[in-house]
Amino acid sequence: MQSEGKKRIVVKVGSSSLASPHGGCDFAKMKLLVEALSLLKNEGHEVLLVSSGAVASGYTLLGYQQRPRTLVAKQAAAAIGQSVLMQSYASLFAEHHYNVAQILLTRSDFSDKERYHHAFETISLLLSRGIVPIINENDPVSVAELTFGDNDMLGALVSGLVHADLYTIITDTDGLYDKDPRKHKDAVRIPYLAEITAEAEAAAGDAGSLGTGGMRSKIIAAKTAQNLGISTFIGRATRPDSLLEIAAGRGEGTYVSGKNENLPTRKQWIALHSPVKGQIFIDEGAAHALTRDRRSLLIGGVRDVAGDFQPGEVVEVFCGSQPLGRGVSRYGAEVLRLALSPQQGVRLENEVIHRDQWVLVP
């Protein structure tokens, strides 16, 4: 546990904030970032860095004059660039007497329950020893179906995994505006968002930059973090003390508040990462018990079952056509169908889904 005033902070930095126009990463930008992160560490905060920049660091070494467009070329550039990137980070952090650790993740590391748990344990141990975990997507082996889309989302999911106090997305703009400031001189910056609405997403637009994620992807990532109970900052870090200012609530950008409940790790896995194996349809009384009273789901409230799931697998729960959430079913689909059949007379002694294995749809 962090002492009062000390926070666990995930900082995500994108390619546009690191890359040099001529290829590779801008060493001066990296030096400023590491100095800012080290100041956070010096104040007792725990710091995790989610860093893009592997492709930018590697494509010139691969012989390309500009960032490649094909998947295989990007993966090859990332394979070269990731080691270059880590060497730079290790050298820069060493100047501040901190060690770093590289962690490369894919979607399958989150969807596999055991690997998800091991990732949490590994990162927790590194933080407890004062190491700075530097996290990136494992680009050289990722395929389209297993990617995070961009590191904005990876940072949000990592923030949830480690139960961060603040997720900080460093970008080259000073937060979210009510309209595109490049097109509208009267655009007004939004300093704080209690909730990310459809209007806020629309205001973010689809503006892109050198990296894969524009402002819209950052808002979507912040919404994911918000649903996990984590606050997010989106904005600039242009000075060594910028991250300290951000942590203190005085950052140059937009803050998005987290919701009250910080989801336990097991519930995060159920909500966001677990493979769904079937559906359970329940009546309104059971829906009220699950969503309002926070009670477990009993067989008496189940009306139908779809799919061929096994005991311990995750299912979606519906009331009519309305999705309510996800949960781990104690029983397989076949047993539940037998229990629902009056002719079979099968009785279930336990709840179908325990409240501790249940998550509402955000």
Contacts of 213 (CB under 8 A, 6+ apart): 14, 149, 150, 151, 152, 153, 221
DSSP assignment string, 5-72: T--EEEEEE-HHHHB-TTSSB-HHHHHHHHHHHHHHHHTT-EEEEEE--HHHHHTTTTT-SS---SHH
Strand 302-307 to 276-282 pairing: antiparallel
Which residues are documented as binding site? 12, 52, 139, 151, 171-172, 212-218
What is the torsion angle, in degrees rounded to the nearest 10, for the CA atoms of residue 25, residue 27, residue 31 and residue 32? -70
- 131: which strand partners? none
| 137-158 exposure pattern, b = at least 16 Cβ within 10 A, e = fewer | bbbbebeeeebbebbbbbbbbb
Which residues are documented as binding site for ATP? 12, 171-172, 212-218
Which residues are documented as binding site for substrate? 52, 139, 151
